Amino acid sequence: MRNLPFVITSFCVTILGWGLYVPMLQWGQSAMAPGAPPARWRAFVCVGLAYFLIAVIVPVILLKVKGERGNWTASGIIYSFLGGALGALGALGIILAINFGGKPIYVAPLVFATAPVINSFLTIFLAGRMREIGPLFLAGLVMVILGSVTVLSFAPHPTPAKPTAAATTTASAPAAPAKTSQTGSDFSRFVLQILSIAMVAICWGAYGPTLHKGQAAMHNSRLRPLLCVGLAYFAIAVIVPHLILAAGQGEASTFWNRGAIWSFLAGAAGAIGALGIIMAFNFGGRPVYVMPLIFGGAPVVATLVSTFAGHLSSELGPMFLAGLILEIAGSAMVLVFAPKGHGPHPAPAPEPVAAPKEEAVPTT
């Protein structure tokens, strides 16, 4: 294929962008609220502003200057905006998972492993092909589940600092109840982390099929659905958080530090990753191999960045690495062996636009 180098370059951009997304967001949230739980709403605003710049301003300019195939339709706008809303809620789920104590070293692999599973199941269901699910697809699903449990169980954590002698001598007797209370609090936060990650998987898993319908309704336009996604991010990730903060539901965070820069860069990385997928498809790439490579590569980048940035390389154990490999391989199997359509539907009238095959598409 003549455009193969451009296809590879495009999905490598997505792997890098989505791989950096979660670690940079965690850096931004933490820097916005030093000495407090990582920021929620202000970091969310920065992500929304980045998407508005890249997914709204840029498409508007390109449509004005160059134009594009396709046209605006009411159903296309609704589905594309809904897809963008799902994407924004997924971004909020990442922020909440980090706010509740989640670490990118396992949050990113869990998200990128489970979101394509939801994507594939929803696509298969909408295509009416549930009975065509084969053993290799189910084997991939089992691998994802086992890998996720292993990654959670053996994720490395920074070694806690040893207590000083002064702290040891001044420790009071009733410390045991406090420890029990802390254990209960830690368990609650862990449950909230899992629920937040599940929210991301569901939202980003449903994002692809929903946006696919919007794109098809706009006659395979690329920039128009992206513009609707950017507007949805602006509404949910910029306007809503501002209303929450203005209503007095504040948090111990501030915009005016490097945290805002990292959060904005995280949003930009996510949006550029989405553009990378669009470019890969425009150059002739097929979802059957583009998406498995992306969902396999992005969590590896996120894990490596988090490991070296957090000085955790000595804490990486063989079980964690085995779980990571199992997740990635299972996710790829789910995407590759999901039942596919047998071709476009026949045209019912002269010169119609043939409906595209129901295939797994981007989840963020």
Q: What is the pLDDT of residues 287-331, one digit of tens each?
A: 667 777 787 788 888 888 888 888 877 777 888 888 888 888 887
DSSP string, 282-332: HTT--HHHHHHHHHHHHHHHHHHHHHHHTT-GGG--HHHHHHHHHHHHHHH
Q: What is the mean pLDDT of the chain?
A: 81
Token reading at 86:
């799902």
| Residue 155 pLDDT > 70 | yes
Q: pLDDT tens digits, residue range 9-18?
A: 988 998 899 8
The residue whose two tokens read 């501030």 is 254
The pLDDT value recorded for residue 25 is 93
Measured CA to CA, the distance from residue 197 to residue 272 in angstroms comes to 22
- Please say whether the beta carbons of 105 and 307 come within 8 A: yes
Query: Measured at the alpha carbon of residue 182, what is the angle toward residues 161 and 147, in degrees to the nearest 5?
Result: 80
C-alpha closest to that of 47 among 11, 95, 82: 95
- Confidence at residue 29, expressed as pLDDT on a 0 to 100 scale: 93
User: What tens digit of pLDDT does each residue of 81-102 get?
Assistant: 999 999 999 999 999 999 999 8
Per-residue confidence (pLDDT) for residue 122, from 0 to 100: 80
Give residue-wise pLDDT tens across range 265-280.
Answer: 999 998 888 888 777 8
Q: How far apart are CA 73 and CA 227, in angstroms?
A: 13
Q: Which has more pLDDT, 17 or 179?
A: 17
Amino acid at 326: L
pLDDT of residue 195: 94
Helix (H, G, I), strand (E, B) or coil at 207: helix
Which residue from 272, 292, 173, 172 is spatially nearest to 230, judged by alpha carbons? 272
pTM, to two decimals:
0.79
Q: How confident is the model at residue 204 (pLDDT cuts 50, 70, 90)?
A: confident
pLDDT digits (tens, 9 = 90+) for 219-244: 878 889 889 999 999 999 999 998 99
Average pLDDT over residues 183-198: 85
> What pLDDT band is residue 200 in, cutting at 50, 70 and 90?
very high
